[in-house]
Structure 1
């Protein structure tokens, strides 16, 4: 009898999760019900699964509201009816038009209006009447609507406590205090499941209404497939046989390209993988991914295929990835096997400015009805809940801030208001709050996707499903991850700039050549990697220097052991120690030496877990991967997991391994697997790192310009500008006659772009270079003002940053001139003049700018100085006793050094005390690192950008020197000479 049931997915309205909703229904003797969440179908598929499991007949529906007012709700007769409801909501979401007051004529769905809706009603339309409205039927002729009346008992809450939670949710949604939530803004206290028989009793005098309701529900059958089925696009060519033949042809052709004609090992692996791909019906998935790569390549886009997909030699042959699985001994089962519980996917990275075009191609190629972006569901989180509840309570900001302050935890526990907030918090924590968009997931379906969800239109402007990747997996959809990252933008633009600036073409895919290049590997070893993807952070540079990393394989390992879990477990230190002393490594068992010799007996990758399970315990690749996933918390069946653990031990003993050795190997495997990292993923990162480093090594100026124009990487722009200068680039301030919107390069001359000028209007960022290219260089200040129609404030910004220095006049002279030209006057017209009128020249005293004044202008308008360095701005000439490169010669000594702040990282010790790691440049531009232990940090804190005098003890680990800070103070700079 429940036609209008709501879950938590009626965001900031309903309080019941889908499982709780179904449990409550079971407890109240409900045998069938309709889920009708407000303006979304997020929970429908989950609802059907839960109901099937609990023996309740699920019926799908949607409630339509406009401006908080209930218009009507729809009930699907079948799968087609749910599609009609989803299509209707989707149309209004995507076209951003309001819902109509009257529902359309659905063919396979019923429409229920609240009682009081004017007659007449269409054949599929009904009136829902609440039991408290039954009195209005007394002595009324209801002949015309007798067959149209249905019981209306909405469900939004579970009990009285949840009603209070509902009120808080409504206050949060409406952004008002609790007392301002009106009765119209919330549900009734009785909007819940009633005890068995009670609803029927309330309608007993109008039994025909119960019959109408029962008959309507009986006619509804949700004819969806049970369990997880493959709902993705099933073929690429339209025929599975043709798909198989095309995939085999492409794989064998690609194998010849990658390995030559006679590589028997490659052929064997390709044929094995193709067999598994056929059997698991993944041909279309591979071919669609290949098609996406084919399109992007035709547009000149560069991509990186990474993740577990790089374990596949077929993916390598199709150019989806650039990682050679044979070279790195990668296991295909890590990517795809018959027992995998969640679908595999390829992670394809593009430049940040190219991804949308690739997504647009997918939508057009595979059809808007069959393509959508994946959604996400953000939930209420700890501190945000406290803040939201506090606002609804009407508490002042200072009091709310006190409740979120961890240092006041003990005091807050004795506060009645805080305890009340905590009680609400416990109910609200992790409830869905709002729908959003996944980072890059795309779905391509066989059936129209609206059979399973309505679609939203987030700011990105592409249709998006109303559930997340976890729900997609359970329903039967495999996503394609089309991602973006700045590193690819760096590479792409650098290659273009080299061709334009040096007339040299680079094949950036010749990665194996880069890996053998001695200069590239020398820079890797020295940590000269700023700007290079994944290897530019201080931690990664430090690790590579400790490892003396000078080859691809070690870099792949470094990309994995840098991760927090591996590093904190002590395995990073063990790997570095063994790397430098490989002859002293003691292996637990010959199999450990045979399988882990490359990583000196240390498990570094997820694939290492699989190797040991296979070769030490005799497991097959499929079971080994399932066991690995189980140890990572990704396998839900404990019974199956325990069976595989038992198989590991039994298999090892059967192979003659000593029991105490088996126990120790298992201890190492189980302790590592939980935070292990895919080797294929690391290898993909390392490939891109080599591409970046090759460009930095041989074309450092073009590379750093590309880094700046793609909005940098790990560091501030100032550091990349310094790297440009160190590489021989002559960096010029922005200039209206030489600069573009972005940084440009000609020979060794680099002009900063207008984009980096703080306060410059976007209109002029584009207009100034466009006008110059159309009509030639600007001739004078007056000519510039006339042609751009620039206002006084924007002109002053350009003068102060030095962008009008082509005039030969000082900034002060130009400021006088611009005030005379534009002060209290309208802007000069940029219309063509019949006669060129020469501007009047006024006699002015000699007005000059100092370097110090210029540096302060640059600090304000660019964020860093060009005219002087930060060291030049110091009040002292002292630069320390030694430089960064000399630290290694003073290990154990206490030294003084002056360093320019680059960045800092806060970590917590085992005692939950904070400590810091710092990164600095000395006066020569060389990098050094500092460690700030808890006993020193409160007394000597970081104070932002600038130069610091540092007193510390030089320590070294594996040949890498750093400073343990004892005293630490920011140095004062010369005062700012104010320009009036």
Structure 2
């Protein structure tokens, strides 16, 4: 059985492929595969290395590309001749020019315009209506050049899926062909493929989940194995070689072709070059060309004519001439310094005749390689030259080349392990043992952060860094690339630090400050460095209580509520100050708020200019603060109306917009709590127990957690106990009134506040509205 693998992705499909072309071709040769079709995503970047690997192994290369269209359709295209290859390159260029960096935007209409001479293979997912529409398009456009891929996805009913795709293909008269969608050359490379998936999706190996490739056999398989996997589709297996035979194009057909360049009107490129050489010669040799230099120049011009390199020299000359006309410093370097022609044209500044340099080191008929002239421009004005090149040759005739860099494992492995939670292998392939985990303590202040790093029970480094999460992440990457825990206490900066460090890939943990301080207080000397070392010891021992850090959206809501409450508090303080100041003069302002208070004050100040000059500025400030508080109130109401969770909680009597919004922001996700009962304890509304020997009693409530939310729930409980409207009647109120008779008002209100916290959590979890008749047991 003969088989060619037509869907092979190299590591030039960045962060998808996990093997080089050399590895893929060597493995395919050993497995007895007839040919490899390299189809990197929206790119031909990998085919040059694939050609080198093909030459080295003698295995046939089929040039292709995978096109991912904007409508979700994916197809593999293979040029059958040089003209089709030219159309494919223009098609990809079109998509890249639309998409910008790292993107390629192509539509079906683009494929319609450029498909001539290409074989197309549809890559379907499910045999649904969308697949049927895509098959119809393929049949209409490609005709007998249309195929559909049969590829295992290792999901439930996979064979049924292949059968239905095959039936759809027969319905639209599209031929089936087997592909393996190869991402790596051998099974052991799956782990590296998972790593690049983590990098692409910006997550860790523990959290990548279903973003990983769905099955692990995306590697090259011998023809016998492919025949075993596709026993019902022998014709589809045979068609792989049919496509190989139809694709007669080879990269060997491409040769170096420089575009025509003739600056002097009426002259070709060679004549133009000779014209400028003789024109510029007096600038370098005012007394005339020495005979030996003249001989060298004529030899070089003859060789340039033979090799047809004149257009290239003219291009470089025009760029250098423009730079010098704008007083932009530039200098040619490298082997071009061996050329007398380059020296006369002003491209280089070294006279080859005085240094006895050999021109054939630069251009040689035996090597038959195109010349390479490097020109450096002053960096501050380099962009002017680049923009002139774009204006002169246009965006189709000028480009900025990209460069791919291969890093050794010493360069990429430690940061990858640190950022994505990976372990380093210990086999001979890695030649390195996994280092021990490191634990870091951070003592954060406004200006600087003290850092302590521990490993195997010993401090291995400590220092200071400005309190900037990015700088801290760089410091941690440098000194502890394999950090397991980075611990710091709760505080004013903890929310920002936690999210910023987590975004940098640091395993940040925020711990309860009260718990940490009880340990840190045992040290003899209280310093930032000692605190950081103590936190690192807690991280290493695992002796801490992690705090759930709220998201920025929740903190924004809490800030809105806090700002509104602060303004109301300032308003109350100002009104009390006004009342107190006026009492000194026997002016007792009657009870009243808002406009009533304002009119009462103004009435008393009427005719009392001396006092009015003092009180009116305070009154204006009071009015302005109330206005700002009203603005925040409106924002709060808008937020409450937009949230389904908030509207659900507001069905409870006594729960208004402020309490509902504050509760939702504090809880965030109901699943953060295992049971609804635990919310009461989290808010400090349950009693503290003391037990020692025979002594065992319950004390006051713990008052832990969010004191603002605890206060709002207490206010809501007060409303439930005191208001007598029909809407306020509920079994919860009846239960609270019984408690008031037995325990007093305050204890009853605290009990209702706790039950409100429990009920509200249960409502968020179930989505049910408040039931006034439900039992109050919670």
For Structure 1 versus Structure 2, the TM-score category normalised by the shorter chain is: 0.3 to 0.5
TM-score normalised per structure 2? 0.47
TM-score normalised per structure 1? 0.38
More helix by share: 2
Bigger Rg over Cα: 2
